[in-house]
A and B are shown apart, each in its own frame.
Chain A
């Protein structure tokens, strides 16, 4: 053990001898324990919730999507024409050929009506290619046809195997004048999702039908990436392969930018509020170290006189600060993580499930969160230690040794 730790450990032990220093040392340790535990717990609760939310979001948003820019379909979309314009096929080909892209699914978004004898129901319509998108919880065995959300099916009294008429707001030109475009399609499946609570679920139908009905709708290419492919890299490749006029590439993060920002803001605010406890503990540490310094003044002077250079005296107080903090902070961090794991494992805190998306408070102890707590504790206590360390290193040995005698 080097000189610095040798002396620091001895001084650490001596902090128990002085009543004032002992109180401040306990205050430091206690404050750091409470502070880090609260930080770890608060961040774990937030991470738990946000993780839940994001997982749900990821399931319902493709990692990458391309929105074709030009509305080529609207100009020449004749009724019944299912053939996509040449430019779009080319775009899909190029996207598919991009490295890291495993699969491309073309989707068409539009609004339309489901009509029966009693009336019409406005619905969001999604045209899908080959199979329904992964985020629609319906078995893949569905035959081509309409896939209805349960709420719509109930409203319209429809069941799988029946049929329904889909009407487009776009009129088609016929020899007898403009007529609304409509098709009657079989109901292939009915699905339900917990997202029904907070968003309108779409009606799905095969792309050719959707194309014919809603030729001017918004198109989107949902990309499935090869395992291990980095979405940002693939996005960059795509952006260089596609001219801005042809289409825009959006990553999952960009698509949910606002939400991600709010989540981070929330975490930052909670962190700052709870970190105040650690800041207060750091003040106690500063006071404790200042008392140690004034009670050890002459001894520091002697060490300097014997040739301990200023840097080492500085390190001595940094080490002492670390010794005074590490116990409390370590205990607090471990206790916080343990409590979070326990609360999550046994679902101790329950929530009304009809209000929240989960029926208990989930806790998730993330390595990154713990690292942030650790670093902030080190920064706060390090700053407090550094302040007294600098004073120790600037001590005038003669003055310091004189002070002990008078």
Chain B
């Protein structure tokens, strides 16, 4: 019995379909290159599923609308690109603070500002981490293929529901527009985790004891939702111990579920001397390098690809740095993740940035050349 069927599709489409498979039934968005296809797929598909597609008046409203719909109990997603991602930041912070699940896709394009709308870049890594103000936690995925886009979108929806936490998908323009095969599970095979509808009568929206599922509005639990610091019932507080506890709560829920959140993948030599650490579409070039250097030439090299970039996979980097002499970090920006790698390598390995920011992908030769220097 075939469990899956291969389908050729674009990255943006895979994102839309992954969202739908994970139960997303509400999309609000605003047109922006190179993410528009996600909105177009949702506009096409959601109505037939009884879902809602709405094109809002701007990026800010799109973000607000998905939060509103999530409070109503729907699974929601919006997609944008750099300029729109900037505009969404305030309400992303709101969703973090109010613990409202939602998924935000940023199909990155070259910036700053309007930049090159159709050129790929990985320039929003730090913005995805720190774009909204205040000391907030965030989850960010960075798929390396159309296939990963599909599955990471599903993971994003499920995690956001479970943790009541916005999840960001940083898609690369090349992935968004590339066509690849995806194995789509047969209907009914996908496990969509459902937050429990059965809540105890003493349910509190922000229970001090830990995570509770969100009870949507309209079911007789009269709680308050605000972006202000709040107590376990949602009411504003400025009381220092309560404020500190509330902020700790937001961070602890991610720390406690670290193993489920942090996704990485290692390929290559068992005892590498040189490792590449990268994410998103740059993984593809790095994989080509490892294929040639390790699988063909048996050189002591490896690749650690990061599907999750935030929270940063600190332990994985720490462990890797103990094994290798050198870590090469190729990125399509002026060096954003490399600082984190350096921080967690803790001087155990040399960390070498490899950057490209002309709107073109890093090609395998560039990485190969850098690697060769450290192997001779």
State whether these chains interact. Answer: no
Binding site for A on B (CB under 8 A): none
